[in-house]
Structure 1
Amino acid sequence: MPTLADKTPTCVVRGLSFDALATALGRGRTSVFTLNMMHMRLLAREPEFRESYRQASIVTLDSNLLNTCFLRRRMTVATGSDLVQHLSARRTFRDRSVLVIGNVTAEEAASVMASRRLEVFRPPFGFIHDPAAVDAVIARVREMAPDMVFIAVGAPQSEMLTLRLRRAGLVEPSILCCGAAFEFLLGKQARSPVFFRRTGLEWAWRLAGNPRRLAGRYASDAGFLLSMLGPLHRLARSGALRVGGLQLQFRQEAGPGLTLGRGALGAG
């Protein structure tokens, strides 16, 4: 007889190489999200954000803090910025069309991501709460019909927009939610030194550099972390964590065996 746990929606958080992720994005119909502590907090309170995660093709781990402190460093960490940098160096989309949704110019985006055709759409601040603004983004994606969409705005807007694009029938392009990745690679924002990233202390470096903007967010993340200490303590042993009615399963995987779930966003 099925238990309550059996009926809980599940999202697999995968440890994958950058090459495997680049291959998946390059073949189209793939959406990639990057899980961090703020995302976990949002999963606990935002139903549409949870649904976007449940429907994503691939969710990677974007938290050295989680990996170091609670997963015994057994996962490959793939941040949005590092993945965009890898795609840029590999020139994955040089023969494809690319749309960047975010606060960069076309010239800036083209200097990061070589492509046959590249366009930029800059939505207004807080656009996800404005139906007309969301419709304008959907219309632009439909008009351009790109092979690849980089949604370079913050969570939860990027993930919720991905869900709405797929529900609008735009299933062909791959989508990567990459936050401030283009701004980091352009030098418009400074990334933390490698030591801070690898040890899970990137948040401390960023907070010191911009306390007014980040203090509230990190305080909320810290409160959520404290509330989840019990389940997080068991994470290394169980490999699973329930957040807001969504079961997260953490799994290190080999690239060549990568398959996508039939219900995933962009899987058709």
Structure 2
Amino acid sequence: MPTPPVTHRILGIDFFDGSAKEAIEIMRTNRGLLVVPAAPALKDLDCSPDYRDALLSADLAITDSAFMVLVWNRLQPVPIRRLSGLVYLRELLSEADVRKPGNSFWIMASPVSARRNLAWLASQGIVIPEDNVYMAPMYGNGLIDDPALLERLNRLLPEHVIVTIGGGTQERLGLYLKRNLAYRPAIHCIGAAIAFLSGDQVHIPVWADRFYLGWLFRSLAEPKRYIPRYWEARKLLAIMLRNRSRLPALKP
């Protein structure tokens, strides 16, 4: 039997503690849903039942949130390593099965993002067929229902589905796909990670990501957009202090 992955339970979610290559091998073997929760979305764990359901139903959750990791490692004697979505995506895009034409399917946030992301992928030798790119509609806060997306995926049967839309929504979409597709692909909810590489958002150097400074680069590039978002994420501290490894109770 394969060795189960090493995890730490934080806020009721089992976060993977290992390398990007190990995480990708788990996803290649088991398929299912991988989530990369960031602090601005994690703070809603106690007030967003659909987002909460998506995280609890994921097959693998990686430690993208530098804030969560820093707080956890202060609270607990056994530390957890950070595995950012950017590191995970870089490793994922080096894999031969992901680079194979037609074997990955990309869900993009907008036509502008798609053009930039696809151009960057092509510059890396990864050519995505037009039918393997899908523009996500505005899903809203309720239950997601996208039969057109299901039909295309069931027809093309890509092994890897890569979701690049915003946190809080992409996890709900990933769970919808996991529960409703006629087959089981690896669904990677990597959010904005590709935007840092393609130029769709500010470039984040490897060293800045390693030293937990991605939030600073985004805030300096677009202060009106990101400073309020990261300021709101401070609420995660109180949730972690109250609950630690326990799942927070849902607010009425």
What interval of TM-score do these two structures reach, taking the shorter chain for normalisation?
0.7 to 0.9
Aligned to 2:49: 47
Structure 2 SS opposite 1:32? strand
CA distance in 2, matches of 1:139, 1:62: 31
TM-aligned CA deviation for residue 122 of structure 1 = 1.1
Check whether the contact 2:37–2:167 (CA below 8 A) recurs between aligned residues. Answer: no
Match of 1:68 among 70, 86, 91: 70
Alpha-carbon spacing, 1:196–1:68, altered in 2? closer, same or farther (3 Å): farther
Deviation sequence 1:234-268 (CA, Å, 0-9, x none) = x4xxxx143345xxxxxxxxxxxxxxxxxxxxxxx
What does 1:116-265 correspond to in 2, within 5 Å?
119-124=132-137, 126-128=138-140, 134-194=146-206, 196-222=208-234, 224-228=235-239, 230-231=241-242, 235=244, 240-245=245-250
What does 1:92-107 correspond to in 2, within 5 Å?
92-95=97-100, 97-102=103-108, 103-105=113-115, 106-107=118-119
The structure with the largest strand share of the pair is 1
For structure 1, the residue ranges without an aligned partner over 5 or more in a row are: 1-8, 246-268
Check whether the contact 2:15–2:62 (CA below 8 A) recurs between aligned residues. Answer: yes
For 2:48, give the aligned amino acid: E
TM-aligned CA deviation for residue 13 of structure 1 = 1.0
Aligned to 1:260: none
TM-aligned CA deviation for residue 131 of structure 1 = 7.7
TM-aligned CA deviation for residue 177 of structure 1 = 0.2
Check whether the contact 1:34–1:80 (CA below 8 A) recurs between aligned residues. Answer: yes
CA distance in 2, matches of 1:195, 1:84: 16
Alpha-carbon spacing, 1:75–1:122, altered in 2? closer, same or farther (3 Å): same
Q: Which moved more, 1:69-78 or 1:158-167?
A: 69-78
CA distance in 2, matches of 1:19, 1:74: 20
For 1:67, give the aligned amino acid: V
TM-aligned CA deviation for residue 81 of structure 1 = 1.8
For structure 2, the residue ranges without an aligned partner over 5 or more in a row are: 1-10
TM-aligned CA deviation for residue 69 of structure 1 = 3.8
Using structure 2 for the length normalisation, give the TM-score. 0.77
1:30 is the counterpart of 2:35: no
Deviation sequence 1:92-114 (CA, Å, 0-9, x none) = 42346110001314554444574
Structure 1 SS opposite 2:98? coil
Structure 2 SS opposite 1:214? helix
Alpha-carbon spacing, 1:144–1:190, altered in 2? closer, same or farther (3 Å): same
TM-aligned CA deviation for residue 216 of structure 1 = 2.6
Deviation sequence 1:41-90 (CA, Å, 0-9, x none) = 12221111111111110011112232234315822222222111111223
TM-aligned CA deviation for residue 199 of structure 1 = 3.8
- Give the structure, 1 or 2, with the largest relative contact order (CA under 8 Å, sep 6 or more): 1
Alpha-carbon spacing, 1:131–1:241, altered in 2? closer, same or farther (3 Å): closer
Deviation sequence 1:12-54 (CA, Å, 0-9, x none) = 1111211111212223522111132123112221111111111
Percent of pairs identical after alignment? Answer: 21
Aligned to 1:79: 84
For 1:37, give the aligned amino acid: A
Alpha-carbon spacing, 1:68–1:226, altered in 2? closer, same or farther (3 Å): closer
CA distance in 2, matches of 1:161, 1:208: 30
For 1:101, give the aligned amino acid: I
Check whether the contact 1:31–1:58 (CA below 8 A) recurs between aligned residues. Answer: yes
Check whether the contact 1:31–1:56 (CA below 8 A) recurs between aligned residues. Answer: yes
Structure 2 SS opposite 1:159? helix
CA distance in 2, matches of 1:51, 1:132: 13
For 1:225, give the aligned amino acid: L
